[in-house]
Amino acid sequence: MRKYVLFAMVVLMLVVPTVTAAAPMYQGEDYVVQADDWLSKLADKFLGDVLAYPAITYYTNQKNAEDDSYAKITNSDVIEVGQKIYIPTPEEAEAYFANSVQSIGSGTIKIGSMVPLSAPGSVTGGTAMKAAYEIALEEINAAGGVLGQQVELILLDSEGLPERATSAMSRLINQDEVVAVACCYHSAVGLAAKEVAHDNHIPVVFAETWNDDITGSGYPEVFRIAPRSSDVAGVDVDYIATLNPSYVAIMTENTGYGIPAAEITTEKFNALGIESETFFADIGTLDFAPVIERMKAGRTPDVILVLLTGETGFNFEQQAAEAGFGPEDVVMVCNQAASDSDSFWAAVPDGRLCLYHAIGLPTALWTDKTKAFAEKYVEKTGRARPESYAMEAYDSLWMTAQAINEAGSTDPDAIIAALENIQYDGALGHIWFEYGSSNPVPEDLPASAWHQFMNPAVTIVQFQEQGESAADLTVVFPDTYKTGDQIFPGQ
């Protein structure tokens, strides 16, 4: 109902000649928040419309930028007694809505994205996310778009490179004029992109970037629905600890994901008294023979944990298998790109007994939204099932669209406030952000809990038969989701 009321209100604004003219600025009045005040109540009292509250938020924040005696409102649902805010005139409120929503009913609202569609990035992941974005975009526009307009998705190739991410994000914001961004795959890309988003105050929902520092910076613009590296490392280590290993080899990449992921994992192993050693390779490495020989020449690991992404991980896994050091010889936790089982078996034909961490609800717990998306995704791509990063991409765009509709505006502060309060049901299940401006991260939690989805499902699954589809894999850990026992090398 709110969307349609606001739509009618803005349309009326656009047909009144005085609305499109520049309204005199700051002709309204200052107001000190009293007990039992809330913004929609004040909007009704002073502006005659409960839905005009984003204008109070916007103008108060504009005044705050000039004079810090005014409140900085980061959540339109939360104001405090004694705060000084600014109540705009009806003309100023109308000008705000006309400028923020622009030409309702015509044109498009642009949302940006970037995924790796060429090397050295993970093309497997990028193409999966692109397909998922296209499905979400079609659904959003079929449902009426956002704020009465169709959504245009501007999608760029990140190539998996941070320098490319910086230029791409700058182009999306300053040239394409997107109002929000839903992306990315590689953490190194996300770390670079978030700085540009922050500098330009554009909200971004990160889909598949695990580095803890993505949200650890505490930027108001940054939200994440993927797990953190520390979350996944916790599951990896808890699983590997059940095997009682004395020594684990970690194969990682020299990127903003691989290095910190290995460091976090090593810390967790150390805390359990498990010895580990980390081996490094550049993203896009084709020949792993030197690394594999070094592994074989040293102490034989009880487990090999692969923290390489995409095709790079496939290269290592198959070459290790050919050298007699693969998943049928040593317990190997492979990289999650294996969830594209067709690509996995084409690249790693000797990959039987590979395990990997799967993100998202097990198939038995899929929601109706998950099932509907999966059906469309399988039909569109021919893949066995949607990978976690495909579901994350789908949800990140849908969540962004929902936030803009709930904000009733393309104003970044309004979108950020809507994201902080969002309750979203998608392919990954129910998503919300527990910690933000109105509920700060507790001192006993890491800073990365800021704007972070705290309850992603993470499981360990295994290929137990040659050519097995990812849709049929056995969940071996944790016990909550377990569907069968692990098969070990030699069994």
Per-residue CA distances from 286 to 289, 296, 308 (Å) = 9, 19, 12
C-alpha dihedral sign at 5, 6, 10, 11: negative
* Spatial distance between the Cα atoms of 278 and 287, rounded to a whole number of angstroms: 18
* Contact present, 326 and 432 (Cβ < 8 Å): no
CB atoms within 10 A of CB 272: 11
**For the chain, what's the residue count?**
491
Record the tokens describing residue 64, joined without a space. 């705050």
Q: What is the DSSP string of 191-221?
A: HHHHHHHHHHT--EEESS---THHHHT--TT
* Topology of the domain covering 230-363+458-477: Rossmann fold (3.40.50)
Per-residue CA distances from 196 to 48, 141, 221 (Å) = 38, 28, 10
> pLDDT per residue over 158-185, tens digit each?
999 999 999 999 999 999 999 999 999 9
* Spatial distance between the Cα atoms of 388 and 392, rounded to a whole number of angstroms: 6
Q: For residue 34, with 0-12 CB atoms within 10 Å meaning exposed, 13-18 middle and 19 or more buried, which class applies?
A: exposed
Record the tokens describing residue 332, joined without a space. 């190997």
What phi and psi values does residue 33 have, to the nearest 5 degrees?
Answer: -60, 130
Paired sense of beta strands 331-334 and 355-359, if any = parallel
pLDDT of residue 62: 82
Burial 406-444 (b: 16+ CB within 10 A, else e): bbbbbbbbbbbbbbbbbebbbbbbebebebbbeeebeee
pLDDT of residue 24: 55
For 108-227+368-449, the fitting CATH number among 3.30.1600.10, 3.20.20.70, 3.40.50.410, 3.40.50.2300 is: 3.40.50.2300
Record the tokens describing residue 235, joined without a space. 């599951």
Record the tokens describing residue 128, joined without a space. 């999966």
* Contact present, 101 and 117 (Cβ < 8 Å): no
Domain boundaries, the chain: 2-101, 108-227+368-449, 230-363+458-477
Q: Is the pTM of the predicted complex or chain greater than 0.95?
A: no
| Closest by Cα among 46, 180, 167, 156 to 100 | 180
Ramachandran bin of 200, using left for φ above 0, alpha for ψ from -120 to 50, beta for the remaining angles: alpha
Whether 108-227+368-449 and 230-363+458-477 share one fold: the answer is yes
What tens-digit pLDDT sequence spans the chain (491 residues)? 333 334 333 333 333 333 333 445 678 999 999 988 888 789 889 998 766 777 898 889 888 878 889 998 866 667 889 999 999 999 888 877 665 443 333 468 999 999 999 988 999 999 999 999 999 999 999 999 999 899 999 999 999 999 999 999 999 999 999 999 999 999 999 999 999 999 999 999 999 999 999 999 999 999 999 999 999 999 999 999 999 999 999 999 999 899 999 999 999 999 999 999 999 999 889 999 999 999 999 999 999 999 999 899 999 999 999 999 999 999 999 998 898 899 999 999 999 999 999 888 888 889 999 999 999 999 999 998 999 999 999 999 999 999 999 999 999 999 999 999 999 999 999 999 999 999 999 999 999 999 999 988 899 999 999 999 988 899 999 998 999 999 999 99
**Cα-based angle 187, 405, 133 (whole degrees, multiple of 5):** 40
C-alpha dihedral sign at 477, 351, 277, 263: negative
Q: Give residue 62's identity as a one-letter amino acid code.
A: Q
pLDDT of residue 219: 98
Burial 147-174 (b: 16+ CB within 10 A, else e): bbbebbbbbbbbbbbbebbeebbebbbe
pLDDT of residue 98: 61
